Each structure stands twice: as C-alpha cells, then as structure tokens.
C-alpha cells in the first residue's frame, strides 16, 4: 500500500546498441527542412489502481467538513471581488493561515487574469493547481531499508492518535514483509504499554517493555535488540506531552540521545503525530517538536472530524516538514501516504 525507498540493487549492464531503425515513411509525418518529424504521440494517462480510487473516495468524504465551505465559494455566476473575499474568508476559516491564504489568493488572481477565466469553476480549478504546488514539498515517502534496523521515533501530544497510528503503520509494514520491533517507551500514561502490546499481538510482532522502567532505558534495550535480531524496523512509542511541558520535552531529547548511543546513525526517522482537529495549534506543535527533536516527518490524523484541514497548507508555507501519512478514519486502510494532488482534489471536490 505504501511507497518506500529501498536500497537499489546494482544496475544491470547496459544493453548492446541496437541496429539503427529504418527511417519512417514520409507519410508518417511532415518535413521541416530536410528532417522528418514523426507525429507526436501523447501517452495515455496511467490508470489509477482500484485501491487508490477507494482511498480517494474516503479522503473526499473525510475532508467534506473542510471542503464544503471552500466549494460553496465557486457556486456563483462570475468571478468578481465578492468571490475573492469569500474565498479568503473560507481559507482562513479552514485554518489555512494568513501567509498561505495570501499566497493562494494571489496565485488564483494572477492565473485568472493571465488566462482570462470568467467562470467560478475555472477559478476553482486554478485553486486546485495552486494548492497542489504549495503542498508539493510535503510529499516524501518513508525510507525503509537504507538502515538495518530503521529506527523510527514517534512523538505527539496525548489524544493525537499516536499509539493507534503506530499500530496501523506496523500492520502495513508487516504486510509488506518487514520485521518490526516495538518499544513501549510511553511509561507515563496508564495502559499505554498494554495498548501497544495489543497491536504487537495483532500484528504478530515483538515488543520490548519494562514495568515502570525509564523510557530512555526501554529505547536503548529495544534498539540494541533490534540490531541483534536483525529486525528491519524498530518503532519507538514515546510518551504523549504538550510542547509547553519543558521537563517532558527534555525527556524526549534524552530519549533521542540514548537512541543515538545504541546506534550511532539513529534515529533515522523522527515522526510527529498531529490531530487535524487542532488547526493552527498543530502548526505550533510542529514548530516546537521540530526545535526539540529535528523532525523528519508527520502523520496527520482525524482529518475526517475537522473543518480545519487547511492547516496542511499552513504547514507547507511556514514549516514544510514532510507529511508521510494522513488519516481520515479508524480503520487500518484509513491511514495512507500523502499525495498533494489527491489532497487538493479531495478538498475541493
């Protein structure tokens, strides 16, 4: 289901040069000077896999709360100042943020003027393209296989869906044939270890935990065990905390330092799980956790329960940390890789 980077096998030797193909007949094209120009062949668009089509339907349904107010902007009869004012208000209400809103609005106005568009549906299509370009820097597949094990450290505030996201990610990794080891380093929250153990049992993967142990010690043991057992992936579940809890943020820094002691190149990925419902507060979390941990990626959850899905545009504009996965439901298949074009189309469907 997911696209992962892997170590590439050595490239095969280049084939021997083929004999020159006979020149095409003059009827196949036209002449410019003495050169024969073959007719342009437009490649057929790649078919969208049925699985991805199903995801697009769920994504569109999940983003309906955010997208409905945006789509209503383009139901009028003409493009005018009133439409632009409504669009600005709708983008701000979707928690797109001032900077991203101004960027998108200016781009729509520029393209409308350049193309001579007069119908609102044309402005909508221009917005889809502008939003796609803004979100494009957030596209990046999670790299698995470049390190053995690949150590993934996962952070987030309580209630963001951190442990559930780890469970879903573990399931997909296991389905891809990866061997996974989980580290139950969330020793603060009641039943956190048990919740992770349920996912480990469900996915038939191993888990390292301690009764009331120090979170950093659990992480050290897990990374060491992952190396010894030649696991493909070690996922570290850290305790949920607010970025304003300075002593707990320092604990996260300690965990990162200890993981590096266990494996010099680790952690290879530092992911932050954010709740789409939190809107602009999600952007504040990204900035705070990045300052503490040097984030490599995001998992954005619960986009189906919010009208604030525009926050991804704010993140792209102000703190473009890659979004590896987005979630729009509780089922395993409701966590998928992020695609800027898909997101823009679903948001404005």
Query: Which residues 6+ apart lie within 8 Å of 319 measured at CB?
Result: 283, 286, 287, 290
Q: What is the pLDDT of residue 315?
A: 96
Q: In what order do the strands lie in the sheet with 297-301?
A: 206-208, 180-184, 233-237, 150-156, 269-275, 297-301, 323-327, 335-337
Q: Look at 324 and 41; give whichever has higher pLDDT.
A: 324
Q: What is the pLDDT of residue 32?
A: 32
Report the alpha-carbon distance of residue 200 to residue 184 in Å, rounded.
10
Q: Does residue 51 register a pLDDT over 90?
A: no
Least confident stretch, 105-119, 142-156, 256-270, 300-314 = 300-314
Residues 264, 147: contact at Cβ < 8 Å? no
Instruction: Indicate the average pLDDT of the chain.
Output: 83
CA distances from 212 to 106, 187, 222, 243, 254 (A): 54, 6, 15, 23, 17
Q: Which two tokens stand for residue 40?
A: 């342009």
Buried/exposed 208-231: b ≥16 CB within 10 Å, e otherwise: bbeeeeebbebbbbbbebbbeeeb
Query: Which residues 6+ apart lie within 8 Å of 47 measured at CB?
Result: none
Report the alpha-carbon distance of residue 210 to residue 193 in Å, rounded.
9
Q: What is the pLDDT of residue 45?
A: 43
Q: What is the pLDDT of residues 245-264, one digit of tens each?
A: 677 788 889 999 999 999 99
Q: Which two tokens stand for residue 55?
A: 């995801």
Q: pTM for the complete prediction? A: 0.83
Strands 35-37 and 30-32: antiparallel
Q: What is the pLDDT of residue 31?
A: 33
Q: What is the pLDDT of residue 1?
A: 52
The whole-number average pLDDT for the span 1-11 is 48
Cα dihedral 325, 196, 262, 149 in deg (nearest 10): -50
Q: What angle (nearest 5°) sits at the alpha carbon of residue 343, between those of residues 340 and 349?
A: 135
Q: Look at 340 and 37; give whichever has higher pLDDT.
A: 340
Q: What is the pLDDT of residue 250?
A: 86
């Amino acid at each position: 289901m997911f696209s992962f980077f892997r170590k590439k096998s050595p490239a095969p030797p280049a084939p021997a040069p083929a004999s020159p193909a006979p020149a095409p007949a003059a009827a196949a094209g036209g002449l410019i000077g003495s050169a024969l120009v073959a007719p342009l062949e437009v490649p057929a668009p790649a078919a969208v896999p049925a699985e991805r089509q199903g995801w697009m339907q769920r994504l569109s349904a999940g983003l309906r709360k955010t997208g409905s107010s945006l789509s209503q902007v383009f139901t009028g009869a003409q493009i005018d100042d009133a439409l632009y004012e409504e669009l600005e208000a709708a983008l701000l209400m979707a928690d797109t943020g001032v900077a991203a809103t101004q960027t998108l609005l200016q781009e729509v106005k520029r393209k409308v003027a350049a193309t001579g568009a007069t119908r609102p549906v044309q402005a909508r299509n221009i917005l889809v393209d502008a939003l796609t370009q803004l979100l494009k820097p957030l596209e990046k597949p999670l790299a698995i296989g470049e390190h053995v094990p690949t150590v993934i450290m996962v952070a987030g505030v309580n209630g963001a869906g951190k442990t559930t996201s780890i469970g879903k990610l573990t399931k997909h990794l296991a389905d891809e044939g990866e061997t996974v080891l989980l580290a139950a380093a969330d020793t603060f929250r009641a039943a956190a270890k048990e919740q992770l153990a349920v996912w480990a049992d469900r996915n038939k993967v191993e888990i390292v935990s301690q009764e009331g142990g120090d979170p950093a010690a659990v992480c050290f043991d897990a990374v060491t065990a992952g190396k010894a057992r030649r696991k493909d992936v070690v996922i570290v579940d850290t305790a949920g905390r607010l970025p304003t809890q300075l002593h707990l943020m320092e604990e996260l820094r300690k965990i990162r330092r200890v993981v590096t002691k266990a494996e010099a190149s680790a952690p290879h990925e530092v992911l932050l799980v954010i709740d789409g419902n939190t809107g602009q507060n999600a952007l504040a979390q990204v900035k705070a956790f990045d300052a503490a941990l040097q984030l490599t990626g995001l998992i954005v959850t619960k986009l189906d329960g919010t009208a604030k899905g525009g926050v991804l545009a704010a993140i792209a504009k102000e703190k473009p940390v890659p979004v590896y996965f987005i979630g729009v439901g509780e089922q395993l298949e409701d966590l998928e890789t992020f695609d800027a074009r898909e997101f823009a189309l679903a948001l404005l469907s």
